[in-house]
Amino acid sequence: MASSQSYSKHARTDPSMHFFVFPVLLVNLGVAIWIAIHFRHDYPYLGHWSIVVSLALLILAFKCRMNDLKLQDRIIRIEERLRIASLIPADQHRHIPELTVRQLIALRFASDDELPTLVHKTLTQNLEPKEIKQAIANWRADNHRV
């Protein structure tokens, strides 16, 4: 079972990506540069090509991570708009589009009980995501994040 989350411990890392894939690809780029420098006379094009391939792999890894996060943000945006619409009075639904994506992402941690109040406070005081997260009293864990 996942440990409980709070403002102080809600950030998530993907160990295989952050501690294996990215470091290996960075080292690979360094090795490719080293090969290009040290074997430039024997294999001039091989060194350049290995740098290009190393950069392509590094960019691919970053793009995969960024696309995962963008998709997650889109899903959170839809999910939170639906959740907010089900928890606030109908006459306030017209204000839901005023919430920014970053605010919606921060609001996902609020419990159903405190969400309506926090949405109102966010809209009236234009709270930043950090302020929203700090204002949450009953933290709703999100253990399915990318």
Q: Supply the pLDDT for residue 1.
A: 45
pTM reported for the whole predicted model = 0.77
Please state, as a whole number, how many other Cβ atoms lie within 10 Å of the Cβ of residue 46.
Answer: 14
Distance, CA of 55 to CA of 53 (rounded, Å): 5
Residue-range domain boundaries for the chain:
7-135
CA–centroid distance for 93 within its chain: 27
Mean pLDDT for the stretch of residues 31-52? 92
Name beta bridge partners: 134. none
CA–centroid distance for 29 within its chain: 25
Structure tokens at 117: 């109040």
Of 30, 64, 65, 67, nearest to 50 by C-alpha is 30
Q: Supply the pLDDT for residue 141.
A: 83
| pLDDT tens digits, 100-121 | 999 999 999 999 999 999 999 9
Q: Under DSSP, is residue 92 helix (H, G, I), strand (E, B) or coil?
A: helix
